[in-house]
Amino acid sequence: MSGRTILFTLVMMMIMLFGLAACGGVVQPQAQEAPQAEQAAEGAQEQVTGVQEEVAPQSDLAGIKTYLLEQAGELKTHTTALKTAGNKYYEMAKTANFDYARLWQEQPDEVVKVIEEGRAAWMAASPSYEQIEGLVAGVPSLAEYDVILDAGAAGSEDPEGAVPFDLTLPDGKVLPKPGNLFGVTESTLWGTYPEYTVTTVAADFNKDGKLDFGEALPEANVLKAGVDELDRYTAELLIQAEAWQPTESDAFTALVVMVPTMSEYFGSWKNSRFVLGDKSTQRDFVAISRLADIQDILGGLQVTYQGVSPQVEGVDPDQDTQIEQGLTDLKAFVADVQNQESSGKRFTPEEADLLGAEAQDRATAITGKISQVAGQLEIEIQE
């Protein structure tokens, strides 16, 4: 019997009692019983009010946006530091009239110091972006910034997946669709792309008599243009993130789009120096293992799921638990592989394929559950 029915019944009983008493048909109830009836009626009313105030669980969309803004703010701090170092190196090269042999001969220690400052800033900026890549790449209104900053290819390699910009250098030269800006700056700072590197100077950074990986001078014009644009587009992303009004559709779309990308990330890890060593021809993903990137991305996706978890729990608690545990286990799986790598294990390409297949199977299963519950909640997955 509902609260509303209980209240109605009690009221009708009281009316009948009072009516019979007026006709002399019943004995008047004792005075102390009236408060009991009133208390019962009040209790029934409280039950009705409680039913009326009960609301469905709500997503924490504000928490998702706060996370994005905090991480994007940290990213901007690091890209500003990277820009400062890149511009300092450019001014040093300009003062030497871009005579890199002279520059290296006159102030090798200062050159190494500023390059290492730039590398340190890049090493801080890259993980800051990876932690929000799941949202940036997964939310359609923000996705273009992922292409520009981290995912877009060079036009010469993949015209369909190329970045939407050309890079104009301070000397007036234009690099048409050079690839994403993290890739451009990484390959310039670590000397993995001859076109962005000074190949005429043997820069022995540690003075051990041989040239180790990364001991190369960046081409100053490319470095300045790259760090300037990386910082500028990061500032644009931060503005767009502040204006973004997240929806449940945005959150579920980001999860469905980005969770099942494990094979892609493991593929780039397989082809990187972290697996192939000096045989690798990949010019990016040389400074940080792709395994670390995957963990950062999954961490951001866990935050995204936590934002919508209350809604999922409201319709299917078991599914909610399975999704949360699945994301936790997937991240732990990748962390275990990276821990082995950090401890000195060099995985073979074949092992990388097997590990990537395992990660992809886990991710596909998680995505299926997320898609299913999105359907139960009638939440649109955007194209």
**Cα(4)–Cα(51) distance, rounded to whole angstroms?**
9
- The β-bridge partners of 175 are 167
Backbone dihedral region of 207: left (phi > 0), alpha (psi from -120 to 50 degrees) or beta?
Answer: left
Q: Residue 21's pLDDT is what?
A: 38
Residue closest to 207 by CA, chosen among 297, 289, 299, 109 = 109
pLDDT value at position 342? 96
Closest CA to 111 of 135, 92, 97: 92
What integer pLDDT is reported at residue 351 of this predicted model?
A: 98
Q: 3-state secondary structure string, the chain?
A: CCHHHHHHHHHHHHHHHHHHHHCCCCCCCCCCHHHHHHHHHHHHHHHHHHHHHCCCCCCCHHHHHHHHHHHHHHHHHHHHHHHHHHHHHHHHHHHCCCCHHHHHHHCHHHHHHHHHHHHHHHHHHHHHHHHHHHHHHHCCCCHHHHHHHHHCECCCCCCCCECCCCEECCCCCEECCCCCHHHHHHHHHCCCCHHHEECCCCCCCCCCCCCCCCCCEECHHHHHHHHHHHHHHHHHHHHHHHHCCCCHHHHHHHHHHHCCCHHHHHHHHHCCHHHHHHHCCCCCCCCCCHHHHHHHHHHHHHHHHHHHHHHHHHHCHHHHHHHHHHHHHHHHHHHHHHHHHHCCCCCCHHHHHHHHHHHHHHHHHHHHHHHHHHHHCCCCCCC
Q: Find out whether 90 and 221 touch, Cβ atoms under 8 Å.
A: yes
The pLDDT, as a whole number, for residue 56 is: 62
Distance separating alpha carbons of residues 111 and 58, to the nearest angstrom: 54
Q: What is the pLDDT of residue 59?
A: 86
pTM of the model: 0.85
Each residue's pLDDT, cut to its tens digit, for the chain (383 residues) gives 433 333 333 333 433 333 333 334 433 444 444 445 455 445 544 454 444 445 567 889 999 999 999 999 999 999 999 999 999 999 999 999 999 999 999 999 999 999 999 999 999 999 999 999 999 999 999 999 999 999 999 999 999 999 999 999 999 999 999 999 999 999 999 999 999 999 999 999 999 999 999 999 999 999 999 999 999 999 999 999 999 999 999 999 999 999 999 999 999 999 999 999 999 999 999 999 999 999 999 999 999 999 999 999 999 999 999 999 999 999 999 999 999 999 999 999 999 999 999 999 999 999 999 999 999 999 999 98
